[in-house]
Amino acid sequence: MTTAANETEMTLVQAVTDALACEMRLDDRVIILGEDVGLNGGVFRATEGLQAEFGADRVVDSPLAESGIIGSSIGLAMNGMRPVPELQFEGFMGPAYDQLCSHAARFRTRTRGRFTVPMTVRVPHGGGIHAPELHSDAPEAIYAHQPGLKVVMPATPYDAKGLLIASIRDPDPVIFFEPKRIYRAFREPVPNEAYTLPIGKARVVTEGTDLTVVAWGAMVVEAAKAAEQSDASIELIDLRTISPLDEDTILASVEKTGRCVVCQEAPLTLGLASEISSLVTERCFLHLEAPVQRVAGFDTIMPYYKLEMEYLPGPDRIIAAINETLRY
Amino acid sequence: MPITTAYETRIDHVSILDEHGAFDESLGQGLIPEDQLPAIMEHLVFCRQLDETAFKLQRSGRMGTYPQNTGQEMPSLAAALAIDKADWLVTCYRENTGLFWHGLPPECILLHWMGDERGNHIPAGVNATPIAIPIGTQMLHAAGLAWAEKAKKTGAIAVTFFGDGATSEGDFHEAANFAASLKLPVVFCCQNNGWAISVPSSVQSAGETFAQRGISYGMPCVRADGNDLFAMTKVMKDAVARARAGEGPTFIEAVTYRLRDHTTADDARRYRDAGELETWEARDPLPRLQRWMEAKGLWDKSQHEKAMKSGEERVAEIISNAEGIAAPDRSEFFDHMYADLPESLKRQRDSKRTTSLGQFPEDLA
């Protein structure tokens, strides 16, 4: 891969930092707050160097309180700012749930448009990094189920930058999940300037004709490994946005392939894969050659890291589902 | 000396016009311009009438659940008197007097309790947030709103209201800590009305006062007679001045009493002693101010009758406005979910259904 003069090779986490820096240079209203985001640059270094460039008034080390971070960000957003709060791990979203779902999601409709909450909540997401309990979960369906929120999850550095800038500019609250397992998994050229990618649009990673695989976040990488192992022609879709769901891209693909496997880290029951399965069954019924399969985490508590790879769907479980669906 | 005093504090209690009519001239002189008092009295008469009428509207099936404000008129009104138009009132649901003084049309409050979100569409230029239903969460919004004012260097501040029960909620503590730690221009006002529905304030906290809740966050704390407009105005003015000067938040405990039920869905006789109610009825803030103004020659019986009459007319007009508003479009609740409605939501809105048997509903003949 060659890198043009106006591009830089970056990891996903570097693309996040770059997106924040680009947007903060362009828009004085953007303010970052969270635990350890300042001098320390965040526990994943996603805000590295930003306090040095933009000052402690715009990159703010807040008290250690997730509800406080989100609740005060709501007030900032309602009053003309563009807060980008960071919650350190997805497992710590619980304390902020009330502010996210009782307020951030509701202010626009509650006030019939008088107050809006243009806030982007950055949250490292998912397992596979040998972290302690509550540092490895996949709660995206909870927030996708809440009307009024948008939920975005990139799987590449290029998408991370474009989607994060789009999220910050979005007039509504966005939960921006960052797949921490692939924060530093690979690099790719990322444009130096600010750019956006549309929220609500999936990406066809590889085109194929035999079977559609739908994935998001770190599972896109696992699904791609599985697809490479298959002799069949697999069409891999990276959702990029979880809510609102890009139904058209999924449906068009399954209409073509007639077979669909959905991959998620989250527990099986009532996850996003179930919603996609329902959608495909309802709208592609006559095109389907096989039942839609869901490759997911188990309906257990995510185990501590000695067993986390037993829990997380990997290429083996995905390829098994692909093969069974092809044979059906 | 192995043991020393690490920290010592005290909580002041401010009273200017007490329940027996005694007025502290040294604190109260000039606090509220005398020529403003008749308008304040008219406002209070009107607000009390609206509150009592709202109860009747609920009982006659013309309005949903309503939380009466009667007895708690002074704390929020004092805040409204102490702040400027650009400042924020971030309230819960017993602050009608202050909100109306700050510019909120009373129709908004009625519409809210009539089950119509359009009442929460606060008019542009009125810096107030809508009725907050989840207890003790709005103080964080006040912290954020005030933070934005600080960031924009406008000099504007936020005053937030909540009850004694709300100080048991975690968000109260997070808001107090954020505001103090980040030196945000916020005034926290706890209306201690004695009861969180059926649970007395003695169960909410083992502390002697609610004011001391703020001490651990490093902000000045004060307690005032919440049924005394002058005491409340003094502590509000002091707190607003501190916030505006960049000195950070203040915690005010307004000691008051809920003279009515928690809401129209509640019956306080189940848990509240009749004698306690009688004691507090004698401390009703409106007659207290009225008697003092009459003694000072600032108000008289004929003015009061006139205020009652014009108040009644205004209440009737406001109810007529609230009840007369055209019903919202049947799918109006979709319209403000997002700035741009996603296609899937448009489909639900337009078809009024979520089933499709594999085809778009509009394609089903």
What CATH number has the domain bearing residue B29?
A: 3.40.50.970
Q: Is residue A300 part of a domain?
A: yes
Indicate the burial class of A317 (C-beta count within 10 angstroms; 0-12, 13-18, 19 or more): middle
Which of B112, B262, B283, B288 is flagged as catalytic? Answer: B262
Structural domain contains residue A198? no
Whose CA is closest to B244, among B59, B50, B84?
B84
B285 assigned to some structural domain = yes
Is residue A285 situated within a structural domain? yes
**Chain A residue with minimum CA distance to B134:** A102
Question: Could you say which of B137, B149, B339 has the minimum Cβ distance to residue A99?
Answer: B137
Whether B172 and B221 share a structural domain: yes
Nearest to A71 among B121, B175, B333 (CB): B175
Q: How many domains does chain A have?
A: 2
Q: Does residue A96 sit in the same domain as residue A211?
A: no
> Containing H/E element for A178?
strand A174-179
Which helix (H) or strand (E) is B354 found in, with range?
A: none
- CATH code of A57's domain: 3.40.50.970
Do A118 and A175 reside in the same domain of the chain? yes
B329 domain-assigned: no
Are B258 and B349 contained in the same domain?
no
Is the same domain home to A180 and A238? Answer: no
Residue A295 lies in a domain: yes
Does residue A303 sit in the same domain as residue A170?
no
Instruction: List CB contacts (< 8 A) between A200 and chain B.
Output: 342
For position B1, what pLDDT does the model report? 73
Range of A307's domain?
A: 203-327
Residues 6+ apart with CB under 8 A from A306: none
Of the residues A191, A216, A242, the one at which a domain ends: A191
Instruction: Give B-chain residues touching A106 at CB under 8 angstroms.
Output: none
pLDDT in tens, A242-264: 999 999 999 999 999 999 999 99
Asked whether the beta carbons of residue B182 and residue A62 sit closer than 8 angstroms, the reply is: yes
**B336 to A108: CB separation less than 8 angstroms, yes or no:** yes
pLDDT the model gives residue B351: 87
A57 contacts in chain B (CB < 8 Å): 151
In a domain, B178, yes or no: yes
Which pLDDT score, from 0 to 100, does residue B364 have?
53
pLDDT at A28 over 60: yes
**Is A100 within 8 Å of chain B by CB?**
no
Contact A244/B118, CB-based, under 8 Å? no
In terms of domains, do B50 and B96 share one? yes
Residue whose token pair is 């005030």: B146
Is B207 a domain residue? yes
**Complex ipTM:** 0.95
- Chain B contact set for A286 (CB, 8 A): 358
**B193 and B338 inside one domain:** no
| Residue A174 sits in the same domain as residue A219 | no
In this structure, the answer to whether residues B94 and B231 fall within a common structural domain is yes
Looking at CA atoms only, how far is residue A111 from chain B in angstroms? 5
Residues B304 and B357 in one domain: no
Active-site residue, from B258, B260, B283, B288? B258
Chain A, residues 103-132, CB within 8 A of chain B, namely: 103, 108-116
B1 found inside a domain? no
Helix boundaries (H) for B215-284: 229-244, 274-281
Looking at the domain assignment, is residue B3 inside a domain? no
| Domain-ending residue, one of A191, A222, A246 | A191
Inside any domain, residue A1: no
Which of B117, B141, B152 has its CB closest to that of A71? B141
Shared domain check, B222 and B345: no
The residue annotated as part of the active site, out of A103, A125, A135, A145, is: A135
Kindly report, residue by residue over A226-246, the tens digit of the pLDDT: 999 999 999 999 999 999 999
User: In angstroms, rounded to a whole number, what is the distance separating the alpha carbons of residues A102 and B136?
Assistant: 12
A178 belongs to a structural domain: yes
**Residue A111 resides in a domain:** yes
* In-domain check, residue B6: no
A117 and A148 belong to one structural domain: yes
Dist. CA A195–CA A5, nearest whole Å:
16
Q: Which residue of A has its CA nearest to B143?
A: A72
Per-residue pLDDT reduced to its tens digit, A147-199 = 999 999 999 999 999 999 999 999 999 999 999 999 999 999 999 999 999 99
Claim to verify: residue A77 and residue A146 sit in the same structural domain: yes
Average pLDDT, rounded, for chain A: 97
Q: Which domain does B253 fall in, by range?
A: 12-324
SS3 letters across A218-258: CHHHHHHHHHHHCCCCEEEEECCEEECCCHHHHHHHHHHHC
Chain B neighbors of A115, CB-CB under 8 A: 122, 129
User: B143 and A67 in contact by Cβ < 8 A?
Assistant: no
* pLDDT for residue A1: 56
Q: What is the pLDDT of residues B284-326, one digit of tens each?
A: 999 999 999 999 999 999 999 999 999 999 999 999 999 999 9
Residue A135 a catalytic site member = yes
- Output the domain CATH number for residue A261: 3.40.50.920
Whether the CB-CB separation of A72 and B178 falls below 8 Å is answered with yes
- Do B96 and B148 lie in a common domain? yes
State phi, psi for B14 to the nearest 5 degrees.
-110, 125
Residue of B nearest to A150 (CA): B338
Residues in chain B predicted with pLDDT less than 50, given as ranges, are 365
- Residue A175 and residue A236 in one domain: no
If contacts are CB pairs under 8 Å, which of residues 157-176 in chain A contact chain B?
Answer: 170-172
Domain assignment of residue A322, yes or no: yes
Domain match, A123 and A223 both? no
Q: Judge if B161 and B248 occupy the same domain.
A: yes
The total number of structural domains in chain B stands at: 2
Same domain, A105 and A249: no
What is the pTM assigned to this prediction?
Answer: 0.96
B4 is a domain residue: no
Q: Are residues B194 and B343 in the same domain?
A: no
Query: What pLDDT is recorded for position B264?
Result: 95
Backbone dihedral region for residue B321 (phi beyond 0: left; psi -120 to 50: alpha; all else: beta) = alpha
A168 and A234 fall within a common domain: no
Q: What is the CA radius of gyration of chain A?
A: 19
Residue B245 sits in the same domain as residue B155:
yes
Do residues B240 and B354 share a domain?
no
Question: A112 and A222 share a domain?
Answer: no
